[in-house]
A and B are shown apart, each in its own frame.
Chain A
Amino acid sequence: MSKTLKATQVDKCNGCELCSLEAQRQLKKVGLEESLIRIFRKKGKDPQTLVNSVEIDPRLNMLNIDKICEICPTSVLEIVDEVENQAK
């Protein structure tokens, strides 16, 4: 069964962008343009706080998702079965 990457603990994301940068390095580039994984920052409910969200392009599966998963320092990302992911 094919595997895919999912952000299962997005509340833990600290916005470091290491995952986006790793995905880009696998495509031999440094930058965020056309990155297959993106981190969005927005204001939190409390003053002077921010909340991160993660957007994963399904095409990320063509990359080495183990490495992308491993680089996350807060274990936001998890490798799951593709079917299981679609069902959720």
Chain B
Amino acid sequence: MIDLSAKKVLVIDLAKKESDVNSFVDLNKYLGGVGLGLKLLEIYADKEPVVFAIGPLNGFFPFASKTAVVLNDEGSIEDLYIGGSLSLRMRFAGIDAIVICKKAEEKTVVEILNTKTTFHGEAMDLRSLGLPGKRSVIGHENNKTLLDNYFTTPENHLEKAFVQKNLKGLVITGTEVYSPENFEEYQRLYKTILARTSDLRVERGVYPSCSNCPMGCGKSRVGEIGGNVLIDSLVACQFADKIYTDIGIVFSCLNVLGYNHTHEDVENLPKLIEDTIRKLSL
């Protein structure tokens, strides 16, 4: 069963081919996504980290379908957002963030099954790893880093990071489940949000969709770059901002899942993020 009481962080050291799972109760106030990602970038600053971070609603509610990628590209702190299935796989792996540290000696493929990490050589076929139907595959080839052979991030920061780290691919499978205590209310909220497609700033399309989003829009492929702090910490789609900047909706979602966040947490978030960026810039 997924544990929502603390931020669970999978830390992978590519140089040592080791991984560790750490639980941080004190990081709950960073909510997730860019907030959590930046703080982890600070905590692991001496290990050249690349952070993948989801928010508290990912996997649980429609349109909360992105994953934040936070990294330091030659002194410039970047936050990018990738769509597809990754945020659901991380949620169902029981992981709030993956921190990829250092550089592998040779080209490496990393396989994650919930919190268990296995390291493979570059000859390993990414598609042979993980559990089909429950996995995300991030591969780097021909100078492009693609999730499930389709979804990507803006600019080429993630591509640079994969090359620098000698990372050929990352496959993540999640097999955990969660049952909100008040399941009826959870269902009701889920359906209410899913019905609000007219509040989205995208049109329905015929393209591959992010998980937990029906739209199949033409915007999902290229991902997003930083914008609204709350949206980016919840790691919701920026085109669902009408829904996920509504504090009433956000707290209804958080409460029904059993999170203990307060309004002060949300109010203090911009300052926390600002302070973290200041420390990272020193």
A20 — nearest CB in chain B belongs to which residue? B133
Tell whether, in the assembled complex, residue A50 and residue B150 are in contact, meaning their CB atoms are under 8 Å apart. yes
Interface of B is mostly: loop
Give the contacting residue for A33; candidates B59, B134, B208; CB below 8 A: B134
A12 CA / B174 CA spacing, docked (Å): 26
A63 CA / B11 CA spacing, docked (Å): 39
Tell whether, in the assembled complex, residue A33 and residue B176 are in contact, meaning their CB atoms are under 8 Å apart. yes
- On chain B, the residues within 8 Å of A73 by CB distance are 204, 209, 214-216
A39 CA / B85 CA spacing, docked (Å): 11
By size class, the interface of chain B is 35 or more
A40 CA / B134 CA spacing, docked (Å): 8
Known: A14-B209, A39-B133. A33 touches B214 (CB 8 A): no
B-side interface residues toward A, CB under 8 Å? 2, 59-60, 62, 85, 88, 92, 127, 132-134, 144, 146, 148-150, 174-180, 183, 186-187, 190, 194, 204, 206-216
* 24 residue pairs bridging A and B, Cβ less than 8 Å apart: A15-B85, A15-B209, A16-B216, A18-B194, A18-B212, A20-B133, A21-B212, A25-B183, A25-B187, A28-B183, A29-B179, A31-B59, A31-B175, A31-B177, A31-B178, A32-B175, A35-B133, A40-B132, A41-B85, A41-B148, A44-B149, A71-B194, A73-B204, A73-B216
